Amino acid sequence: MYVGLCLATKNLAVRESVYRKLAEEKRQDESFSDVIERILEKRGSLLPLWGALAESESIAKIQEETAKLRRSAKIRA
């Protein structure tokens, strides 16, 4: 009995500089898909941090200063 496995593939266009960086990261036994997956997994999720600084005085000060800067900004025509 023969069972074939067909994986869906997608083509991506990347700049030459990005290709070189991926090639540098690529291990001998890895495909480029493996490299991208490994890098993305290393990054982790930001969801656990969502709202972690909501009550922070530092964040309130940054928001206040940002609002001041925006109000004082001159719009160019």
Backbone phi and psi for residue 5, each to the nearest 5 degrees, phi listed first: -115, 120
DSSP string, 13-77: ---HHHHHHHHHH--TT--HHHHHHHHHHHH--SGGGTTTTTT-HHHHHHHHHHHHHHHHPPPP-
pLDDT exceeds 80 at position 6: no
The angle, 0 to 180 degrees and rounded to 10, between the axes of the packed helices 32-43 and 16-25 is 80
pLDDT exceeds 90 at position 10: no
Q: Where are the domains of the chain?
A: 15-43
pLDDT of res. 74: 77
pTM (2 decimals)?
A: 0.48
Reported as a single tens digit per residue, the pLDDT across 31-76 is: 999 999 998 888 777 667 767 666 777 777 888 888 888 888 877 7
Q: How confident is the model at residue 29 (pLDDT cuts 50, 70, 90)?
A: very high
